[in-house]
Amino acid sequence: MSVANRALGKSEDALAIAVRANEIYQQLANQNPNLFEANLAVSLKNLSECNGALGKWQDALRAAEQAAEIHGRLATQDSDTFEPELPMSLHALSVCFAEGGRIHEAVGAAERAAEAYERLVKRNPVTFEPYLAWSLDVLAIRFGQAQRYEEALRASERAREIYERLVEHDPVINEPRLASTLTHLCDWNAQLGRPEEAQHAARRASELYDRLAKQNPNTFVPKFARSLGALATILWETDRSEAVNALRTGIEALRDIFLRQPEASAA
């Protein structure tokens, strides 16, 4: 119920439910840890996310640390059952560290999450490769926040390689993820002074978002416009005419979708 309320934007209600659920699972885990500790860890992760949704990052961090500690211990005891839960707890912990400005620790938690998915992929690549790609992209963002751009580039490049394969089997799910990863690759290459590589990634991202925007304009036109803005920034020093054209295309796409909004509201 807490997750449902959070999804509906009822963050205060979600937090109240999460607090109560956590109290119950804490009592049950104290009485029978073998049976209820796993449930307590999931409850703590949910509590962390509910606190985070309200900007209560210190409370979110405390809950995330407890969840990650329990999941880590359970994964050591029974990796087949509990290791799939560990990286999600670690990513929740990474978010809390990042929001608190503790970037070094945020990177460490994200690295541990990606390492856990690496192990899981060896056992079950079909199930866990998409999670590994996502985890690597999150890790790249953390590296970027730490201004470790070479490492960010390597992590995003690995994510891209995985998504390129996954797109062949399920383009509907994975094309948006590939486009997002290409956007990150553009950023890291630009930071590293590699304009040609940045331009290539930006062009591919904008091409993907253009196609996605035609299928689902409300979701993807803003991302298409942002990708064109990134491309224009890279082109500005070498081809201002093309840069202006990219900006104009993005602005026109946004204008078209805004003009359609009153019609959508009336319907």
pLDDT (tens digit, 9 = 90+) per residue, 227-240? 999 999 999 988 99
Q: How far apart are CA 57 and CA 51, in angstroms?
A: 7
Least confident of 2-6, 92-96, 181-185: 2-6
Quote the pTM value.
0.88
Q: What is the pLDDT of residue 261?
A: 67
Please give the distance of CA 90 from its chain centroid, rounded to a whole number. Answer: 13
Which tokens hold the place of 200? 């290539």
- Please give the mean pLDDT across all residues of the chain: 92
pLDDT in tens, 56-75: 999 999 999 999 999 999 99
pLDDT in tens, 103-119: 999 999 999 999 999 99
Domains and CATH numbers, the chain: 1-123 (1.25.40.10), 162-267 (1.25.40.10)
Residue 4: which pLDDT band, with cuts at 50, 70 and 90? Answer: very low
* Residue 2: pLDDT over 80: no
Please give the distance of CA 84 from its chain centroid, rounded to a whole number. Answer: 17
Q: What is the pLDDT of residue 72?
A: 96
Q: How would DSSP label each residue in 169-188? A: H-HHHHHHHHHHHHHHHHHH
Q: Tell me the one-letter amino acid at 265.
A: S
Give, to the nearest 10 degrees, the angle between helix 195-215 and helix 171-191: 150
Q: How far apart are CA 99 and CA 145, in angstroms?
A: 11
Which tokens hold the place of 162? 């995985």
Residue 75, H or E segment: helix 57-77
Residue 33 has a CB neighbour count (10 Å cut-off) of 12
Q: How far apart are CA 128 and CA 115, in angstroms?
A: 12
Q: How far apart are CA 228 and CA 58, in angstroms?
A: 37
Q: How far apart are CA 46 and CA 100, in angstroms?
A: 18
As a whole number, mean pLDDT of residues 83-96 equals 96
Q: What is the pLDDT of residue 3?
A: 47
* Residue 265: pLDDT over 70: no
Q: What is the pLDDT of residue 165?
A: 96
Angle in degrees, CA 17, 23, 25, rounded to 5: 100
